[in-house]
Amino acid sequence: MRKTLPLLVVLGMASLFVSGCANVEGKFGRGMANTFEIVRGGEFRRSMEQTALFEGPDTAYSTGFVHGLNRSLGRTGIGIYEVITAPFPPYHPVFTDTFAPGPVYPDNYSPGLIADSMFSTDTYVGYSGGDVAPFLPGCRFQVFEMH
């Protein structure tokens, strides 16, 4: 009876050393961002917006809804694939002919940083500007933004 566990451990360690860290880190991070697309809803909102603009408001709530749901599920599937295969090549984004490599947002909104002391430069004052809750779909409330 052969012992395959030590062989698998050696092969796993060799794959980590051969692959390098930066490529794995980039692919894993892109996969995590794509995996949480179903929660973020950027593809969903963008598809409904684009359908309303190009096909009319009547089809935005039907065709745009279904198209956005399909794109959100597709991007989530790509994210799961990239997270699972992060240690293995290829490290470039997959399915770029259908999906953009980075997260997408509707054209009428791009999120900023959270209004938090971690990202603000005026922590000694005690308040700063930025998006209040950019992780909530449709929340566009910004502190101290006048435009």
One-character DSSP codes across 87-105: TSS--SPS-TTTS-SS---
Rank 6-15, 41-50, 109-118, 126-135 by mean pLDDT and report only the highest.
41-50
The pLDDT of residue 11:
78
Cis status of the peptide bond prior to 90, with omega within 30 of 0: yes
Q: What is the pTM of this model?
A: 0.68
What are the extents of the domains in the chain? 8-99, 110-147
pLDDT band, very low/low/confident/very high, at 12 (cuts 50, 70, 90): confident
Lowest mean pLDDT among 62-66, 121-125, 132-136: 121-125
Q: How far apart are CA 70 and CA 57, in angstroms?
A: 19
Quick one: tokens of 37? 């697309």
Q: What is the mean pLDDT of the chain?
A: 81
pLDDT 10s digits, 63-119: 999 999 999 999 999 999 999 998 888 888 888 888 888 888 888 777 776 666 666
Share of the chain above pLDDT 70, in %: 72
- 5: pLDDT strictly greater than 60: yes
The pLDDT of residue 126:
58
Q: Does residue 35 contact residue 86 with C-beta atoms inside 8 Å?
A: no
Q: 134-138, long-range: CB within 8 Å, 24+ apart, which pairs?
A: 135/40, 137/40, 137/41, 137/44, 137/45, 138/45
